[in-house]
Amino acid sequence: MRVLFILFALLPILEIALLINVGSVIGGWNTVGLVILSAFIGAYFVKREGVSTLQTAQEKMQRNEVPGKELVEGLMLVVAGVLLVTPGFITDIFGFLLAMPGSRHFFAAQVSKHMKMRIVTPGMGGGTAGFGQGQSPFGQSPFGDRPNSPNSDGDVFEGEYTDHTTNDPDKRLK
């Protein structure tokens, strides 16, 4: 709640106060021009960095690697773009920090580390990381099976299987 209060109440007040102070020093139209110029430079920079990050992610996917770092950096570039287009100098500073490759890599590493610590995976043993084998946080199986139901016979899954690899003219499944 504190973060939301700062974002939606205090930040606009600080931005307006800073714009008024800068406007009184360099003039109103110069301040408007500076805000517009920073938005255009920021949009160009975010676009350039976004294309670079997208190319890196595509290269990783072609090598059958998960582009996790690139996804986090892409999200940061989206946030940077929003901050840079928003009028104001404080948002521009944070936007440029997220758009610069060096600081973006640092923040992406911190966010990734924080996300890895928060991921909850069922069945990871120990009891601290997960909720137990096949259990959700609400104590039920995520697949809807109940302990006394007819479908709860352990590791047996019923279903049908049809092999379509020989009939596929494009050989996509091989």
- The pLDDT assigned to 29 comes to 94
The 3-class secondary structure across 43-108, one letter per residue, is HHHHHHHHHHHHHHHHHHHHCCCCCHHHHHHHHHHHHHHHHHHCCCHHHHHHHHHHHCHHHHHHHH
Rounded to an integer, what distance in angstroms lies between the CA atom of residue 96 and that of residue 117?
27
| pLDDT given at position 67 | 85
Provide the residue-wise pLDDT of the chain in tens; the chain has 174 residues. Answer: 788 887 788 888 999 999 999 999 999 999 999 999 999 999 999 999 999 999 999 999 899 888 888 888 899 999 999 999 888 999 999 999 999 888 888 888 888 777 766 555 544 444 444 444 444 454 555 555 555 555 555 667 677 777 766 666 666 655
Q: What angle do CA 9, 15, 19 make, to 5 degrees?
A: 150
Measure the CA–CA gap between 57 and 98, rounded to whole angstroms: 18
In this predicted structure, what is the pLDDT of residue 112? 79
Which residue has 């640092």 as its token pair? 106
Kindly state the tokens that stand for 157: 């899954």
Q: CA-CA distance, 2 to 120, in Å (whole number)?
A: 25
pLDDT at 1: 75
Q: What is the pLDDT of residue 151?
A: 52
Buried residues in 119-137 as b, exposed as e (16+ CB within 10 A): eeeeeeeeeeebbeeeeee
Q: What is the model's pLDDT at position 167?
A: 67
**CA of 96: how far to CAs of 59, 100, 117, 141, in Å?**
26, 6, 27, 45
- In eight-state DSSP terms, residue 7 is I
Model pTM? Answer: 0.61
Q: Give pLDDT, residue 118.
A: 58
